[in-house]
Amino acid sequence: MHESTFAGCLRHPLPELGLFACFVGFVWWLRGLPFIRAYVLPPGPYGLPWIGYTACLGNLDCANGFEEMQKLKVKYGDLVSFTLLGNTVVVLNTSEMVHEAAIKHRPQIGRYTLTTNHWLAQGDGISNYDTPRALELRLAFFRHLYGYEDMINYLGDNGSTSEIRDTVQAETKRLLLSLKNNCGIPTDVLPLARYTVWNIMWKIVFGRSCDLTREQIEHLLDQISTNNTENSMLQLIQLMPKQWLYILDRIPWAMKLLGMDKLNRRYTEVNACLRAQLKSYEQSQDKSPKALLYRLQNDQRLNIQKKELERLLFEMMAAGTDTTSLTLTNACAYMAECNELLTVSGLDKHMDRIHRQASVVPLALPHVVRQPIHMSGYHIPAGSIMIFNLYAIHQTQMREVCPMAAMPFSIGSRACPGQRLANKVLQDIIRAIDQNFSVQIDPVSPPNRTENMRTGEPHARISRGLTLTPTKTVFVFHTR
């Protein structure tokens, strides 16, 4: 009798299935209620238990991870979340959300320090930390960079004389001469752009011309650029507790497996050269207030330490030079596609388009949510890693009639401190190239494409690291 009853239950599961379906539907309905939704994370993919959604790491291929972030935007919408190794990751895919997070919630959001960046910086500098000392250094940097009279005259274009303007014009003329000598010949613009921007930055920082050879400068810039393209937030090491670095430092094979040995070797080489140049500067007799280093060192209130100055020097010469050069190279591609003189219709409107097309730092620098916040009705818990998907935002803006301003330097607490200077230098150089040359994409040179390590298929616009490589760097210039 019991067996027949049990068999009958097996033959008629509909009541149980109906109850289960009703329960699932009720829970799903509850998720849509405002008071419940306020405690629900934004939509996103599910991953393995305790491990999370590892597809965004791209396995061994960070480029595939970058592509995965763009697919998540298409699938889940403007606000996406997922868990990864115990971390909640939230991705913002619209300019409205980025503005809300960076401005409205600025007190609740700070810098997320990438593990490899912390390992290299050792607690110093202005780009990685939210400590009181880092804030003090950032304020001093702003004060001494933009409060200097010569810089005010240059940025203001008020007709006053400016040594910085003279430096930019001199280096731009040197660049134009190189392009003229290669007129009609396919020319790789990226190394020329790097060399030009490096010399401008050097004069601003040291107050004098760089005495390194061109070969030395190009080698240093190549080391910097390679690190920027290989050091990505979409890597396993970036999510590891920073306390583990003490152990990793003592296990060479583990560092090699994670690629940290190469990052360290390049960073050490560049840093050693800059330290030697800083020592030479300090021993020289021609120091003057026109050098940013001089103004920082003589700020009695700041009392900057040597290791702080060395790290700040690296950040000024490395970050600013690489990103500005990449944007300048993308500007040449834009000029090749544009059928008019940029200066005729106003360069300002074209700069936004250039920045959108370039998206040099496509995912910006990551933030950390320090206090719980709500966005679009969803709950974002404290400790979440927040990513601004500037690449997706700029791609959307390129299809809009009246888009919001581009955000090439990000916004909020992680906005690039040198953005005003970088934008002015870019405008001056782009204007000079546009007035002197028509630009043509070299039809023979293949685009910069890298292969997916798993499938062998090429990526056209990808990012393996913090920066996005231009699709084209070789152009043909014709004098107007």
293 DSSP 8-state letter: H
The alpha carbons of the chain give a radius of gyration, in whole angstroms, of: 26
Cβ 413 vs Cβ 367: under 8 Å: yes
Chain centre to alpha carbon of residue 196: 21
Indicate the burial class of 241 (C-beta count within 10 angstroms; 0-12, 13-18, 19 or more): exposed
Q: Which residues pair with 422 in a beta bridge?
A: none
**SS3 of residue 194 by DSSP:** helix
**SS3 of residue 186 by DSSP:** coil
340 DSSP 8-state letter: S
CA distance 415 to 139: 13
DSSP string over 200-265:
HHHHHHHSS---S-HHHHHHHHHHHHHHHHH--SSSGGGGS-GGGHHHHTT-HHHHHHTTHHHHHH
DSSP string over 110-172:
EE---HHHHHHHTT-SSSS--SHHHHHHHHHHHHHHHSSHHHHHHHHT-S---HHHHHHHHHH
Helix 132-146 / helix 306-337 crossing angle, nearest 10 deg: 60
Helix 214-230 / helix 306-337 crossing angle, nearest 10 deg: 90
Q: Residues 6-30, buried b or exposed e (16+ Cβ, 10 A)?
A: eeeeeeeeeeeeeeeeeeeeeeeee
Chain centre to alpha carbon of residue 324: 12
- ∠ CA 441-446-451 to the nearest 5 degrees? 135
Does the annotation place 416 within a ligand binding site? yes
Residue ranges at the known binding site for heme? 416
Annotated binding site: 416
